[in-house]
Structure 1
Amino acid sequence: MNGVQRFTPLQRLLHWVVAVCILAMLFIGVGMVSSVEPKYLTLVSIHKPLGMAILVLALIRLVVRLRYGAPPLPADLPEPMKLAAHLSHYALYALMIALPLIGWGMLSAAAYPVKIWGGVTLPAILPQSDSLHTALWNAHFYLAFVFFALILMHVAAALFHALVRRDGVFDSMGPALTRE
């Protein structure tokens, strides 16, 4: 494979599963904040458990990433781009973990149950408080936009590495087209 170092199969699987979940979550979130129709309740009933699934998967991803690391960036990649890559990954992980926790805290502060699959209801993690609920709702709302912008930059960077630099960075997370 031209000497391209790759993430482990588990890391690649988790990356793409989480990517699909987050993409779905972004569309569901947009639908929720732009609708007062009956579909709103359906979207909320999907949004809560999907957020918790993303939280669990993100924590697993973080543990796996800490255990196995990441392939090195190309030696000829300019230092500002390397810094941007590292900082953006820290931000992506932080938001994958923070947004579900903020959402859970927001619902707890509003005394709304967080029901996930199978009828399981998560315990409140914060006391009921209208002002706390409002602050967390605002944080969740605006951080979701930051997350979306960061995801767009992540995709743009991946395409830059795949189509312009052709330096193996995209291939390190892409699907294995040959036997490993």
Structure 2
Amino acid sequence: MSAPVSHFAPLARLLHWLMALMIVSMLFIGAGMAASVSERHVWLLNLHKPLGIAILLLVVVRLFVRFSTRQPPLPADLPAVQVLAAKMSHVLLYALMFTLPLVGWAMISAAGDPVMLSQSLQLPALLPANAKTFAFLRTAHTYLAYLLFFTVLLHVAAALFHAWVRRDGVLNSMLRGKD
């Protein structure tokens, strides 16, 4: 059996940080869309849709990378409740990264609007147009986005806890390769 790895694979780190940037951008774009009734709303929406589909595609790639590469183990002295919290929060993050774009796509479909990624690329509708379904999915998309926001905040807080309090190398394993 080979020795445990101390750092995430380079592709895993690249996808992590690229998606972190995309997700934080999406959260701010979504908040901007919700707060705007100006022509800026359309501009933000035209950013939001393709970025959401890109996140959906990248999370599939990221899951493949995660299951095909080895991850560094959590520190052996980490309390069991924190190990469980780490594992469950990662499951929740992946579920939200996958679900939110699908709910958004379904929501736009239920609104009867085309899901345009560019002027010439239109995705098929996931659902038929239906006002009640649209209203439900819009509410679900909003609440899931809030859940993602709070989960990301907890993820960042945990990473900083590992870096500044425990000083156990957990954050370092995602920041850079082998020292």
Q: TM-score range by the shorter chain?
A: over 0.9
User: Sequence identity, in percent?
Assistant: 53
Verify the 8 A CA contact 2:7 2:176 in the aligned structure 1: no
Structure 2 equivalent of residue 146 of structure 1: 147
Q: Which amino acid aligns with 1:152?
A: L
Q: Which amino acid aligns with 1:102?
A: V
Post-superposition CA distance 1:95-152 (Å, at most 9, x none): 0000000000001111111111362000001111111111100000011001000000
- Counterpart check, 1:59 vs 2:50: no
Cα 1:35–1:177 change in 2 (3 A) is: farther
Q: Secondary structure at the match of 2:7?
A: coil
Q: Which amino acid aligns with 2:114?
A: P
Cα 1:167–1:92 change in 2 (3 A) is: same
Post-superposition CA distance 1:7-45 (Å, at most 9, x none): 100000000000010111011000000010110000000
| TM-score normalised according to structure 1 size | 0.94
Task: Say which is worse superposed, 148-157 or 121-130, in terms of deviation.
Answer: 121-130
Root mean square deviation of aligned Cα: 1.4
The ranges of structure 1 where at least 4 consecutive aligned residues each deviate by more than 3 angstroms after the TM superposition are none
Structure 2 equivalent of residue 77 of structure 1: 78
Q: Which amino acid aligns with 2:118?
A: W
> How far apart are the structure 2 equivalents of 1:92 and 1:113?
28
> How far apart are the structure 2 equivalents of 1:166 and 1:120?
47
Post-superposition CA distance 1:57-99 (Å, at most 9, x none): 1111011111114211000000000000000000000000000
Write out aligned runs for 1:75-114 (5 A): 75-114=76-115
> How far apart are the structure 1 equivalents of 2:33 and 2:44?
6
> How far apart are the structure 2 equivalents of 1:69 and 1:127?
42
> How far apart are the structure 2 equivalents of 1:159 and 1:113?
41
- Counterpart check, 1:133 vs 2:172: no
Where structure 2 has 5 or more consecutive residues not aligned to the other structure, the ranges are none
Q: Which amino acid aligns with 1:123?
A: P
Where structure 1 has 5 or more consecutive residues not aligned to the other structure, the ranges are none
Q: Which amino acid aligns with 2:104?
A: G
Q: CA deviation at 1:4?
A: 7.0
Q: CA deviation at 1:177?
A: 7.7
Structure 1 equivalent of residue 38 of structure 2: 37
| TM-score normalised according to structure 2 size | 0.95
Verify the 8 A CA contact 1:4 1:171 in the aligned structure 2: no
> How far apart are the structure 2 equivalents of 1:78 and 1:119?
52
Q: CA deviation at 1:172?
A: 0.9
